[in-house]
Amino acid sequence: MSRKYSNIQRALASRAILDMDAFWAQTFAASGTSDLNYCDLFTHLWLIRDQPPQPKTELYPLMPNISRRTAVKYVQHAIEHGMLNEAPCATDRRIRLVSLTPQAMTLIERFLDYTCLSFNAVGKEP
């Protein structure tokens, strides 16, 4: 990376990251999914929102900072708290398909809009 940023720009980026994390925690607190590992999961799922629902077991690697065992618990928690839909697979009864709920989509898009605003000034010289 050839461009160097000033300490002012780095401070703006640092504040934006901290604000983004705090906004996630506040926005998702009522759903019980304020942990930032849910941010990883829900953001990945939002990126593929136009694809068919994903097999439940495919979601675990989307939370790389926790163990698979913990990821299983997190996914189940999100299902039980209305953030993820779970449905049977028509072609294989062993597979459970998962997608974001409308409630989760609304909250994620609110978070992403806030994130865009938070980073708006970063990289621009004052």
Rounded mean pLDDT of 64-81? 97
How many domains are there within the chain? 1
The answer to whether residue 1 is domain-embedded is: no
- 54: domain CATH number is 1.10.10.10
**Residue 2 counted as domain residue:** no
Query: How far is Cα 74 from Cα 84, in angstroms, rounded to an integer?
Result: 11
Q: Which of 104, 126, 111 is nearest to 19 (CA)?
A: 111
**Is 124 inside any structural domain?**
no
The predicted structure's pLDDT at residue 59: 96
35 belongs to a structural domain: yes
pLDDT value, residue 124: 74
Residue 125 falls within a domain, yes or no? no
pLDDT, average across residues 72-89: 97
pLDDT at 2: 60
Q: Is residue 126 part of a domain?
A: no
Q: Does 77 map to a domain? A: yes
Structural domain including 18 reads 7-118
Q: How far is CA 81 from the centre of its chain?
A: 15
Q: pTM to 2 decimals?
A: 0.90
Of 122, 34, 21, 48, nearest to 83 by C-alpha is 34
Structure tokens at 27: 């926005």
